Each structure stands twice: as structure tokens, then as C-alpha cells.
Structure 1
Amino acid sequence: MTSNQEFKVNIESDRVSTTGKQTLPLNALIALVVGSMVGAGIFTLPAAFGRATGVVGALIAWVIAGVGMLMLAFVFQTLAERKPDLDSGIFAYAKAGFGNYLGFLAALAFWTGTCVGNTSYFVLIQSTLGEFFPVFGDGNTVPAVIVASIVLWVFHFMILRGIKQAAGLNTIVTIAKIVPIIAFILILLFSFNLDVFTANLWGGQDYEAESLVRQVGSTMLVTVFVFIGIEGASVYSRYAERRSDVGLATVLGFVGVLCLLIMVTVLPYAILPRAEIAELRNPSMAGALELVVGRWGNIFISIGLLISVLGAYLAWSLFAAEVPYMAAKEQLMPTFLNRENAQKVPSASLWLTNIVVQGFLIVTLFVQQAFEVALELTSALSLIPYLLVAAFGLKLAMGGDTNAQRSRNRTRELIIAAIATLYSLLMLYAGGLDKLLLSGLILAPGTILFILARREQNLNTFRSWEWFFFTIILIAALSAIYGLFTGLIVI
């Protein structure tokens, strides 16, 4: 997980056509896709998959995720071309297709998912440091939360002063991501043990009773987490030299990243039994490499991760603050959130965002597997706006829009949007009822922001059918509270 926000500096300083319009060539668009997807999540894949499945299950999971997320990326591309006026954020599509409240829910889910994702960055950083300084543990100890809180507010005040991006940040972060990953893959290829690999094919000796379907299902939210950002090229399609480059960049960048993800996931099965892979501490890529080359491998991966995650965190902090800011401009959230300071930073939104992140950091003290829970909750929340975007694309392709009816590619768009919608629904189901209920625990109180916005406009809070969705969310929230108190839901 990282952000296409990291590339804004490059976009602003990239090629300018003779007409004065800023444009991006194909290779720059490919870099957007690659950089948007390759983030902190890839460093944790070996153990995440080791806990869930064997080699065959992992490959099936990546095929399902690959097809589903690529279709979702194509929906973003289609909507960027058909609805260029809807450029205020991912929630704009939900609002246009399904009304104000679902548009608000898309914004709220994406924003809170980003806040939880930012929390997971801190947990991963502290867990990485915990390998060398035991006081940080797995990233959810009191010293870890104190240090993370200090870093959080240092970044907060830096951003408030207008320090948004350094021109060379993207280059440094990209190198920090890619070089350790490529080195990891090459070293494990040379250490490949066919006997160990074969023993892990169907789940490993200690997991023979697990069904393949259950193994695959256990990986689904992990795959969503590492693919967040796939819409990178589509979001910036207006900068492309040729619109046709957007689809090509999406496919080429996606295939390249998918190959990296598969290799990072599968190769550890050729050096360790699955049970030992599952026990690796995060970042598990560092632990796996240490077993092959020694201590320097752990240090090498850890340094690359720390640089990558800190750079990505800065980008996502900016991105998170933009969501309530833009939603307020669309009158989906209270007007106080669209305030800017003298440096043109959305200050009110930034304060609210980091207060929420601080709250999630405190919650990690009471969570057994803090990073894993944050990862899955981020994915579940992100799937809500993704589902609404896919459903909006499906609505247009089915004839809800006159332009779609006239399109010669209507059948293709219909198939793509249908697959993307089905995939999003499947991922929400595979993620488990507990994650959906926990999402309700966030979305229900968050609806207060929508209520305040509607009162500012002297409008009724909900339309008749919107009450239905709010009732479902409220039931989910109450069920989550009951589950947490009774032990039915464990975090």
C-alpha cells in the first residue's frame, strides 16, 4: 500500500507539451502504477500467506486477485474517460451513481481505511525496530506507541508548515522499495529447494486437513491490501499524452507488480516449511532472507522498508487529509473541513485525520496481532468504495447513462464492470463477517459528519431508501460491540 500522491511532484515537473499542457509519456504512467501498488504490504507477504495457505492456494489467490483488481482498474479507466468532471475523489463516483449518503459512506470508508492503513505503517515500523530493540516488541507496546505518536505529530506540524514533498523523495522511496525486493527474489531463486517446495504445495504437513477453498479465502484481504493504489494511472489519465496509454500502462505496470508479488509470496515455500514461514515476525521478508544469508539480510530488508514506509506515510498523510477536505467541498461533510491555512494545507482535515490515527494507535495496545488486524480492516474499508465504483461502472454499462448506451464497447465495459463488482463482493465475503461488523463500528459514528453537513444545508438527513443503509450500518456496529464484549470477535 502506497499512494499515487507520491508522484504529484513528478507530474508537476514532467514534460510539458508545446501547448503548455502537462503530459506524461507511457513510461511515466507505468511508474505511477508500479509506485502506487508497491508499498509496505509486500514486505509482509511471506508470513501472511504462510499462515493462510500453501503454494497452490497462493497461486490460485493471486489469479483471482489479479483478474479482479485488473478489472477494477479498467473500471476506473473507463469512468475517468466517461466522467472527466467527476475528479474530486473516489467518492464522487458513488455520489453520482447512488446519492449523497452512499457517496459520503464511500468517502468515510476510504478515509478511515487510509487512517487505519497509516496506523499499520507505524506498527510495521516499530515491529521492524523491535527486531533490534526488543522494547518495541511487535509494534504494539507502550514505548512503540509513544515513539509512533511523536513521529505522527512531527509529520503533522511539518505538513501544516507547507512541507509537502521533496523533489527527490519519490526516487529515493522507489529505489528503497524495489532494490531489496529484487535482491530478495534473486537470492531465494539461487537457494531454491525443490523438496521443501513440493512438501508445501498443498498446505504443508501440519495443515493437510485444511480445504483449499478455505486456504484461498484466508488470503483475500491480504491481496486487496497490496493492490490498493492500482487506480494510479487512471486517476492521472488526464495527464497522458495519449488516452490509449492509460490502459496499456495499467496492464504493463500491473503485470510487473503481480510478478513481484507472486515471487515474494511463493519463493519462501522453497526454503522453509510453511509452519516456520507462518511464525516469521514482520517484516517477514527480512526474517526469510536472514535464514538464507545471515543477519545482514535482515538489516538490508529492514533499512529498505523503513525508508519506503516513511516516504509512503508522508504521501498517505497528505492523501488522507485530502479526502474530508474534498468531501466537504462536495457538501458531504461539514464545511469546517474545507478550511485551508496560509500555506494552502487543508488544516482542519489534517487535524481530524491525525487525531483519528492517534486514536487507532492507542487501540493497538489492546490488539493481539495489531498489524494483521489493521491490514484486514484497511482492506475491508477500502473495498466499500471500490464496490460502489464498480457498481457505478456497471450501472453505466447497463444503460443508466446515454453515453454508455451509444458506446461501441458497451459489451466489453459491461463484462469488466460485472467482474469487478462480483470480485468486490467476493472479497468482502471472504474477509469475514467480523471485519464487516468492525467496519460498521467505524461508519456508524462517522455518519455524524454527514448529519452535520445536511443540517448546515437545512436538508433532510436521509432519503427514504438511505435510512435502510444507515439501519444496516447501525445494526453492524451494535453487533460488533456485542461481539467484542462477549469474545465472539477477537482482535
Structure 2
Amino acid sequence: MAPSTNDANQKLSRNALIALVIGSMVGSGIFALPASFGRATGAFGAIIAWAIAGTGMLMLAQVFQSLSRRKPDLDAGIYAYAKAGFGEYIGFASAVGYWIGCCLADVACLILIKATLGIFFPVFGDGSTPIAIASATVLLWSVHVLVLRGIKGATALNTVATYAKVIPIFLFIVVAAITLDGDVFTGNFWGTQAPDASDVFTQVRSTMLLTVFVFVGIEGASVYSRYAQNRADIGFATVVGFLTVLCLLVLVTLLSYGVLPRQQLAGLPTPSMAGVMEAMVGRWGGVFISVGLLISILGNYLSWSLLAAEVLHSAAVNRTMPSFLARVNAHDVPSGALWLTNCVIQLFLLVTWFAEYAFTLALKMTSAMTLVPYFLVAAYGLKLASRGETYKAFERARIVDWIRAIIATLYAIGMIYAGGPKFLLLSSILYAPGTLLFFLAKRERKQATFTPLEAVLFAAIAIAACAGIYALATGAISI
């Protein structure tokens, strides 16, 4: 598709790309970390979890950086890399999985906004009451109208929100560092009275999907590569954004263990960072963090809306999705993709009424849906380095990229394993009907829907989806 006349006005600077990466990652997750980790593990397990997640995600960030340089023709990388490496249906699955993950991330944002308001206005409850869902619906479609007015304006607002949101987080870190109680931290260190290796392993495994969720968004600059003023900024923005967010996440998690005993951390209501701040400085601290959280999540929500629509649009432009998703409006916004995205978010929002722990479910399902696309990106980087494609003979960078890609690939596989069969089955329930979009795209092109290998893959997904539905119906798994 030829660029529109507005394309030059939509280009994003390096700082805007960095803000997009940070804005995508710093959102609802970081404000829920104290209680989420408190329920799962002690400080030692948290250190191990962040070491694993930090290493794995850093390698993934560097794979994105390498691919942005070596495959500059591939826009919307999270989808395009999977398609280029493994075929059309797998590329489609990566796009639809990432898209649904973005939708679920937006649902988590909406729930947490209302849960935060519920601290002051009980009618919102935990974010899944009828009033909360109704008001979240109003917010959903208000942002929809904003984004339709132009990507540039939306990303500018996101940049402002990104700078604004880090202020309460930095204040929390400073206050927690000053008031840290060494005895409390020591008491929380092992997370159990009689620690052993299996105990620590179980604790660490239970945090893995949490760590994936807070890093989702690392690919923000890559997904928006077609809007970059300079493609060299894409990899830089990805790595700088990742390292900034990693520091914030580790400090928020570990310092909280020096403020309250683990049992009290685990029992804090969402957003738990507000509860920790209140314990340190009084009621005003909880209110301050809550206001900061609202700003943070609104920016985070906006980032996810942009990313979700963009990946659908890019796949449609490449004819892997139906053509109506390739439509753009007068402001060069992918309006068809945005309408479908927000309709799906609305549907998920209604489902949260029936979920026992709606926020936790949305958080973990976001992680589960995005892990497969991450795995495919890492595997594509590994494939390029293994074959030497785009590399010169005896180029040292090939060995470095191969090591990074294999670590990122193994990390993604490990995270999928850590999530367990429940989330694989629930993911399949979403992947299977999503394939309808692939069928429509193939029908438009008058082509057979699947190759033989793709048919086998879809059959496996359909069987897993049926098993997941049966498990839900019988109570074997629950939401």
C-alpha cells in the first residue's frame, strides 16, 4: 500500500519510540507487583525470577534490535518475522495471538483503573462490578474516538503520560529505600520457614507469567517501525526502554519486601503499591500512588490500543488478514483494525463479570497469548544466524546473534512450560476461532486455506480448544 499524504506528519522520533516502549511496559503490572510477588515467593525467589526474566527478555530485545537492522523491509516485526521465517499461517497465528494479547492487556488496564477508583468509591468494587464494567465501556469508546483522530496525536499523549507516570514510581522507590527495614527483609528472604530447592523452584515458577506480563510491550518500537523517522532508532529504543523498565521492576519488587511481612504484602488489595506506600508514609501516600497509577494505566491502555490495531492492519496490508482490516481513515489511522480490536475488548470486558479474579486472569492470559509470538521472533533470529542469512562470511556478529537468539528461544519455551497446560488450553480457545480471519483472507484471494502441514497445526489447535472448553464446562479448570 502506498504511503498516504499524511505519512510524513505521522513519523515518530527516537524519544517518541522510547516512550512507546516504556509506556507499553510500565502500566498496570508494576503497581500490582508487591502483592503478586508476595503471594508467590520471597525475596530470594524474586531475585532468581528477575534474573531469569531479565536475561531472557534482554536477549529477546537484542534479537528485535538485530532483526530491525538485518531485515529493514519487514514492518510490524512481531508478525512479519514469524511469517518470513515459518510461513503464512504461523505468521497469522503470531499476529492474532499478539493482537488478542494486546486486547487482554487493555482489559487488565480497564479493570485496574476501576479497582483503583473502588478504593475511594466502593461502587466500583474490584473493577468487575456492573457499574465498573459500564464505566469502563465509556472509557473504551472514548479512547477509540481519540485514536481515530490520528496516531501522531495519540502517541504524543502517550509520551506525556509516560513521563508523568514514572514520577510516583521513582518517589515510591526513594521512600522505600530510605525506610527499608533490614529485619523485615530478612524475614521475607526465603518465603518459607524451612526452605529447600524444590520450594524455591515452585516459588520461582509461580512468578514467571507475572514477569512476562510486565515486559509485554518490549516490541512496541518494532511493531511501529513503519512510523519511525530513522529505522536505526528502533533497536536503540527497544533496548533502552527495556533496561529502564527492568530497573524499575526489580527495585519496586525487592524494596517492598523490606516494608511489610510477606503475609501482609500478599493480602494487599490491588493496586498493592498504594498499600505499601500508605504503610510507609500514611494515607496521602496511597492516594498519591493511586493517582499516579491512573495516569500510568491510561497511557498504557493507549499504547496497547495502538499496538493492537497496528499489528492487525499490517497483517491485512500483507493480505494475511481480511482486506477490511487494511482500511485507514483520513488521518492514516487503521480504522478497520481499531473497530474490530475495541469490539473484542468490549466482549472480554463483559466476560470479566463472570471471572473470580478478573485482573489476575487478564494478566496471565496476556502473557500466555504473547509468549508464542515472542518464541517465533526468537526462533526467526536463530534461523537467520544459523543459516548465515544477511551475514558476511566469518562475521563475528553472527555468533553473537546466534547465542542471543538461542537464549531467547529457550527462555520463551521455558515460560510456556511455566504457564502450564491450563493457559495453553485457554489460549487455544482464543486461537481457534481467530483462524476465521485467516479463512476470510484466503477466500478473498481465492486460495486453499491451508497447506497440509498448516492443516495439521490447525487441527491440533482445534483439538486443544475443544479440550479447554470441556475442562471449563466440567470445572477441571476455572477462570
- Settle same-fold status: TM greater than 0.5: yes
- Tell me the TM-score normalized by structure 1: 0.90
Looking at structure 1, the residues matched to 244 and 150 of structure 2 have their Cα atoms a distance apart, in angstroms, of 35
User: Matches of residues 319-468 of structure 1 in structure 2 within 5 Å?
Assistant: 319-399=307-387, 401=389, 403=391, 407-468=395-456
In the alignment, is the contact (CA less than 8 A) between 2:23 and 2:162 conserved in 1? yes
Q: 2:54 aligns with which of 66, 73, 81?
A: 66
Matched, 1:229 2:217: yes
What residue in structure 2 maps to residue 218 of structure 1?
206
In the alignment, is the contact (CA less than 8 A) between 1:91 and 1:385 conserved in 2? yes
Offset, 1:206: 9.7
What is the SS of the residue equivalent to 1:482? helix
In the alignment, is the contact (CA less than 8 A) between 1:396 and 1:404 conserved in 2? no
> How much identity, in percent, do the aligned residues show?
57
Matched, 1:300 2:277: no
Q: 2:305 aligns with which of 317, 324, 328?
A: 317
Supply the AA of the counterpart residue of 1:480: G
Supply the AA of the counterpart residue of 2:401: E
Offset, 1:330: 0.9
What residue in structure 2 maps to residue 274 of structure 1?
262
- Tell me the TM-score normalized by structure 2: 0.92
In the alignment, is the contact (CA less than 8 A) between 1:321 and 1:350 conserved in 2? yes
Offset, 1:421: 0.4
What is the SS of the residue equivalent to 1:211? helix
In the alignment, is the contact (CA less than 8 A) between 1:397 and 1:413 conserved in 2? yes
Matched, 1:111 2:99: yes
What residue in structure 1 maps to residue 4 of structure 2?
none
User: Matches of residues 32-51 of structure 1 in structure 2 within 5 Å?
Assistant: 33-51=21-39
Supply the AA of the counterpart residue of 1:37: M
Between 168-177 and 473-482, the greater mean CA deviation after superposition: 168-177
In the alignment, is the contact (CA less than 8 A) between 2:224 and 2:307 conserved in 1? no
Looking at structure 2, the residues matched to 107 and 47 of structure 1 have their Cα atoms a distance apart, in angstroms, of 32
Matched, 1:139 2:123: no
In the alignment, is the contact (CA less than 8 A) between 1:80 and 1:235 conserved in 2? no
Looking at structure 2, the residues matched to 33 and 236 of structure 1 have their Cα atoms a distance apart, in angstroms, of 10
What residue in structure 1 maps to residue 457 of structure 2?
469
Looking at structure 1, the residues matched to 269 and 194 of structure 2 have their Cα atoms a distance apart, in angstroms, of 20
For the structure 1 residues 241 and 117, does the alpha-carbon distance in structure 2 shift closer, same or farther, using more than 3 Å as the test?
closer
In the alignment, is the contact (CA less than 8 A) between 2:173 and 2:255 conserved in 1? yes
For the structure 1 residues 259 and 211, does the alpha-carbon distance in structure 2 shift closer, same or farther, using more than 3 Å as the test?
same
- Can you give the 5+ residue segments of structure 2 that lack an aligned partner in the other structure? 1-6
In the alignment, is the contact (CA less than 8 A) between 1:36 and 1:229 conserved in 2? yes
What residue in structure 2 maps to residue 154 of structure 1?
142
Looking at structure 2, the residues matched to 91 and 249 of structure 1 have their Cα atoms a distance apart, in angstroms, of 19
In the alignment, is the contact (CA less than 8 A) between 1:204 and 1:274 conserved in 2? no
Offset, 1:402: 5.7
Looking at structure 2, the residues matched to 185 and 103 of structure 1 have their Cα atoms a distance apart, in angstroms, of 41
In the alignment, is the contact (CA less than 8 A) between 2:61 and 2:239 conserved in 1? no
Supply the AA of the counterpart residue of 1:401: E
CA shift digits 1:356-395 (9 cap, x unpaired): 0010000000111111110111011111111001111111
Looking at structure 2, the residues matched to 346 and 246 of structure 1 have their Cα atoms a distance apart, in angstroms, of 21
Supply the AA of the counterpart residue of 1:312: N
CA shift digits 1:157-184 (9 cap, x unpaired): 3333448626852453123321101111
What residue in structure 1 maps to residue 190 of structure 2?
202
What residue in structure 2 maps to residue 484 of structure 1?
472
In the alignment, is the contact (CA less than 8 A) between 2:16 and 2:159 conserved in 1? no
CA shift digits 1:227-250 (9 cap, x unpaired): 12223456678958795x776665
- Can you give the 5+ residue segments of structure 1 that lack an aligned partner in the other structure? 1-7, 15-23
Looking at structure 2, the residues matched to 319 and 291 of structure 1 have their Cα atoms a distance apart, in angstroms, of 36
Between 444-453 and 394-403, the greater mean CA deviation after superposition: 394-403
In the alignment, is the contact (CA less than 8 A) between 2:388 and 2:398 conserved in 1? no
For the structure 1 residues 272 and 137, does the alpha-carbon distance in structure 2 shift closer, same or farther, using more than 3 Å as the test?
same
What residue in structure 1 maps to residue 3 of structure 2?
none
For the structure 1 residues 404 and 95, does the alpha-carbon distance in structure 2 shift closer, same or farther, using more than 3 Å as the test?
farther
Offset, 1:476: 1.4
Looking at structure 2, the residues matched to 122 and 193 of structure 1 have their Cα atoms a distance apart, in angstroms, of 34
In the alignment, is the contact (CA less than 8 A) between 2:428 and 2:464 conserved in 1? yes
Offset, 1:252: 4.8
Offset, 1:335: 1.1
User: Matches of residues 3-42 of structure 1 in structure 2 within 5 Å?
Assistant: 12=11, 14=13, 24=14, 33-42=21-30
Supply the AA of the counterpart residue of 2:406: A
Looking at structure 2, the residues matched to 362 and 235 of structure 1 have their Cα atoms a distance apart, in angstroms, of 28
Looking at structure 1, the residues matched to 278 and 354 of structure 2 have their Cα atoms a distance apart, in angstroms, of 30
Supply the AA of the counterpart residue of 2:400: R
Between 32-41 and 359-368, the greater mean CA deviation after superposition: 32-41
For the structure 1 residues 9 and 209, does the alpha-carbon distance in structure 2 shift closer, same or farther, using more than 3 Å as the test?
farther
CA shift digits 1:432-489 (9 cap, x unpaired): 2111111100000110110111111111111111122112211111111011111111
Supply the AA of the counterpart residue of 1:272: L
Supply the AA of the counterpart residue of 1:302: S
Offset, 1:280: 0.9
What residue in structure 1 maps to residue 71 of structure 2?
83
For the structure 1 residues 472 and 410, does the alpha-carbon distance in structure 2 shift closer, same or farther, using more than 3 Å as the test?
same
Supply the AA of the counterpart residue of 1:369: Y
In the alignment, is the contact (CA less than 8 A) between 2:151 and 2:333 conserved in 1? no
For the structure 1 residues 141 and 210, does the alpha-carbon distance in structure 2 shift closer, same or farther, using more than 3 Å as the test?
farther
Q: Superposition RMSD on alpha carbons, in Å?
A: 2.6
In the alignment, is the contact (CA less than 8 A) between 2:20 and 2:155 conserved in 1? no
For the structure 1 residues 362 and 403, does the alpha-carbon distance in structure 2 shift closer, same or farther, using more than 3 Å as the test?
same
Between 270-279 and 166-175, the greater mean CA deviation after superposition: 166-175
